[in-house]
Chain A
Amino acid sequence: MDEAKDQKETKQLTGEKTEVGLVERAKETAGALKERAVEEAKTYKDPQQTQVWKSIFRVSHERSDPRNRSLAILSNVFLHLHPAKINRDAVRYQYTWGMGGITFYLFIVLTFTGVLLMFYYHPSKILAFRDILYLEHDVPFGKLLRNMHRWAAHLMVITTWLHMFRVVLTGSYKRPREFNWCVGVVLLVLTLLLSFTGYLLPDDQLGFWAVTVGTNMARATPLLGHEGPFGAQLGLTPYNDVRFGLLGGSIVDANALLRAYIWHCIGIPLVASIFMAVHFWRIRKDGGISGPAPVMLESEMKVPKKK
């Protein structure tokens, strides 16, 4: 075998004519290549065995042994918010109601639809209202987009309240979760403010008057508003009080629209994201979801001795 090959090569090198033709040789090479390709293609039949796949997904989900199930959570950036294992009763949605998670999901939906809406919206008095009309009548699925943003926002307020309601009914704000409850209260306020700042953006009568009524209350802020107690005594006027700062003017106008837009799209979502990160982090650090916990009895309650 080797001898024959050597002879062949010698002949090629010396330019001596071989008995096999060029075409024959090409066919031979092509045949070998094809064989190799077929061999390789067999390994591609299972995409999960490819280098690309393995580089992205470190864990195979084919086997469901405990180690793999844990790794599915631990090695995934989106899922690693969860612990690998939880109390067997903690998955009972009759207890949890799932409202916190749904609120977070709605925040994601709102971010997604909100970013898409930003492509079609100019925060200026001249264009804002027109952009909404354009969005409703000309942009493909524009109406659906706006509707979904609006209803998801309303739903988020509802789910936040229900989440809070559940936490109260189960006493989940108690030690060691007191601080996380406070973070939650801040998030509730931020949710309401997010919704409220968005209300002005269509620049229609509804939003304009709602925001006018809302910010008029700021005039009456004690010490900081020109109509509030001790405001006038401190030298506050409609042109330097807290309402002026909120609106960027003494009336709801172009500056107010721009400020509402920036608070709505950048300012509050940023702050809310930070608080959400703390909120979720603390759930883990405070020992996961509060229950359903074993009931305690009155007889086991310790009354601290008076010193």
Chain B
Amino acid sequence: MESVRVSLRILRPGMFTTVQDLGRSEHQRFGVPVSGAMDSWALRVANLLVGNDEGDAALEVTLTGPTIRFETGALIAITGADLGATLGEAPLAPWHAACAPSGAMLSFGGAAVGCRAYIAIAGGIPITPVLGSRSTFVRAALGGYMGRPLRRGDVLPCGEPSSLARRIASATGGGKAGATVARWSAGAALRPAYSAAPTVRVLPGTHAHLLSAPSADRLYGATFGVSPQSDRMGYRLQGCALELGAPAELLSEGVAFGTVQLPPGGDPIILMADRQTTGGYPRIGEVATVDLPLVAQLRPGDSVRFRRVSLERAQALYLAREHDLAEARRAIALRFPE
């Protein structure tokens, strides 16, 4: 089997396209945000579909997708929101792998629901890791491709596809003239129920008891709007301000992906991938990890409601979902045996 170094050429960058992996852990104590994919579940599944390690670097595409030309044939997969991808002439629905022949163009038409799609390429994107990760943290110009979103003319390398990737590619029609989309795809269990108005499960926050009684009710009853001032660092909610029963003076301490904090203005913020490592605002809730993809796919103008979940239930859901992913990994290995 000949080994080729595929590369991707960015013809149009789209709104905000970055290289992301599962993030830069082990450096939070130096104040370095974790970053990584906003919808890390979708990134993991995308990697799975092309025979990669689940933490390999891939592209995170935001709302308006890029136009990409594959300089050599490649096995790719798209997951996350349906941003209307087309590979050559063929529509490429999310959660599918596809073979892109040399010279093929991947473009995006637009989204009905959701905000972010992931493009994984067999072999990953082997740019040099910074502090243990290939994720892009734009605010500090750290990692990724030159620490910034992709621009027109950028050329990204691709790594060596795994032997599993080669088997998937040849079964999917690699070598044929046109683009071929796999007839199989990630099963329903692997696809989060993205929505423009989801209900998201939230665990009680450390300082939930500091909320005034009406605000404590509203947290789990009201509909919050997603503010235009929402980005990879955090989602600002609006339309239903909350208040504390009494002013609280808190010391800054560690926060997490999904922490719902309440700044003095009363509009809650959900901390996301590029969140700061520590925070001093009251933490009124914590989004269950299994529902973070639903938040990561919200766009400005969407709405969200919260439903209370216990820690035990949230962790049981987490373990069940990890089990689903492990099952999918086994199923793919079985479907494309050596």
Q: Do A and B bind each other?
A: no
Q: Which residues of B does A touch, CB under 8 Å?
A: none
**Using a CB–CB distance below 8 Å, which chain A residues touch chain B?**
none
